């Protein structure tokens, strides 16, 4: 790999070029000739080095990013995705011969609680990226509300590109194939906004079955 500074370009001669390893081992010291080889001779004058320039940079001095979407936009997308997933889940189950006529029930009373847990998971991931002792997520309220049922669910995360991509990922979980007469579905969507119109979609999805089924 290479390291570019205002004065020179340096080629890495070390075995490991990962930035996190170099920063811990002192391997970012470009004055160490055993670790880095300069492209331009350090004794070369600045005028001669400037002769190698191919022109001014086309990149703006300051990059301006569009601000993240507001809460209202995220909430609208959350509701839209939840309703879309529900509609398609009913359709997938209807196509299965064994489940024709069976109702597809959702644990609506848990939607807000599940959505809060998704937001909590995201907040923890962002605040504990380099922590070796992450704070445990509190699922006690969810367990209290479903103490007579066994939960089988997953947390999915992916960038939002289009609705078809979301549905494809949901369908691959296979929860719609559950044939239990008293199955209830767990579903919650949380949308996190980022600059430049980027959305990160978090989905909690699965089944709640009677204990001792």
Q: Higher confidence at residue 19 or residue 101?
A: 19
Q: Where in the chain is the domain with CATH 3.40.33?
A: 71-210
pLDDT in tens, 84-125: 999 999 999 988 866 556 688 888 777 777 887 777 777 766
End-to-end Cα, the chain, rounded Å: 57
Tell me the Ramachandran region of residue 162: left when phi exceeds 0, alpha when psi lies from -120 to 50, beta otherwise.
Answer: beta
DSSP letters, 142-176, are: HHHHTTTEEEEEEEEEEE-S-HHHHHHHHHHH-GG
**Who contacts 31 (Cβ-Cβ below 8 Å, separation ≥6)?**
none
CATH value of 71-210 in 3.40.33, 1.10.10, 1.10.490, 1.20.1510: 3.40.33
Q: 107 Cβ partners below 8 Å, 6+ apart?
A: 146, 184, 185, 186, 208
Whether the model clears a pTM of 0.85, i.e. scores above it, the answer is: no
Q: Among 2-6, 93-97, 184-188, name the most confident range.
A: 184-188
Decide which of 55 and 144 is more confident.
144
- Is pLDDT larger for residue 202 or for residue 138? 202
DSSP 8-state assignment for residue 202: E
What pLDDT does residue 130 have? 45
């Amino acid at each position: 790999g290479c390291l570019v500074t205002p004065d020179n370009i340096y080629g890495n001669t070390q075995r490991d070029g990962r930035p996190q390893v170099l920063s811990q081992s002192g391997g970012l010291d470009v004055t160490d000739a055993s670790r880095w080889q300069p492209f331009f001779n350090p004794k070369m004058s600045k005028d001669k080095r400037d002769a190698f320039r191919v022109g001014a940079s086309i990149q703006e001095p300051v990059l301006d990013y569009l601000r993240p979407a507001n809460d209202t936009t995220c909430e609208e997308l959350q509701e839209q995705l939840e309703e879309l997933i529900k509609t398609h889940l009913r359709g997938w189950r209807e196509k299965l011969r064994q489940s024709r006529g069976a109702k597809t029930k959702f644990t609506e009373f848990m939607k807000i609680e599940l959505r809060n847990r998704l937001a909590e998971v995201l907040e923890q991931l962002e605040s504990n990226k380099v922590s070796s002792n992450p704070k445990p997520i509190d699922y006690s309220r969810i367990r209290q509300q479903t103490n007579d049922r066994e939960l089988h669910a997953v947390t999915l995360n992916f960038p939002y590109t289009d609705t078809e991509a979301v549905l494809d990922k949901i369908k691959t979980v296979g929860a719609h194939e559950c044939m239990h007469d008293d199955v209830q579905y767990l579903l919650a969507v949380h949308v996190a906004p980022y600059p430049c119109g980027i959305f990160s979609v978090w989905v909690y999805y699965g089944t709640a079955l009677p204990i001792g089924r």
